[in-house]
Amino acid sequence: MIKTILAGIWAAAVLSGSVWFFGQPAPIKGAEEDKGAYFGSLETVKLETIVVPIVRQSSVQGYIILESVYSIDTEEAASLSVPIQYILRDLINRSIYGNTNIDIYRLEKFDLVKFQETIVSDINAKLGKNIVHDVMIQRLNFMTKEEIRDEQLRRS
């Protein structure tokens, strides 16, 4: 009888010790953990394909076709009176259309990281808040108007 009671006390002590040990939160070591914890309040927004004309020398030279996903701060986006998808589409069109640094004749010099940063900074500057945190490019193509004509001729 005493052995059973001692075994029960021992089992309860082991269980209590393991719950206490494994129930402790992990210590925060630096900014990386804070950054990771912050991503919990972010939401991803995937937009439909955006097609933006590139106008150079007073004529359309081609089109940029963009599929992308955006990480937005849900709390800040909730304070907007217009749905975030509409604002994102408008500001992305403006950002690409007005960007004269996109050299369509030398796409090998195109810097994708700088392009992503430009989109994020343009959107956040226009909104006056830090809503968009990251742009993830799913597809980015450039088609000249000749390529589009050739494709239309093949279909007909």
Q: What is the pLDDT of residues 57-70, one digit of tens each?
A: 888 888 888 898 98
Shared domain for 65 and 140, answered yes or no, is yes
Q: What is the pLDDT of residues 15-48, one digit of tens each?
A: 887 777 777 666 655 545 555 545 567 888 888 8
Q: Please state the domain count of the chain.
A: 2
**What's the CATH number where 139 sits?**
3.30.479.30
Shared domain for 49 and 111, answered yes or no, is yes
Shared domain for 14 and 74, answered yes or no, is no
- Percent of the chain scored above 70 by pLDDT? 86
Q: What is the pLDDT of residues 68-105, one digit of tens each?
A: 898 888 888 888 888 888 888 888 888 777 777 776 66
Other CB atoms closer than 10 Å to residue 109's CB: what's the count?
7
Shared domain for 23 and 38, answered yes or no, is no
Q: Domain range for residue 141? A: 34-155
- Nearest CA to 86 among 118, 50, 130? 50
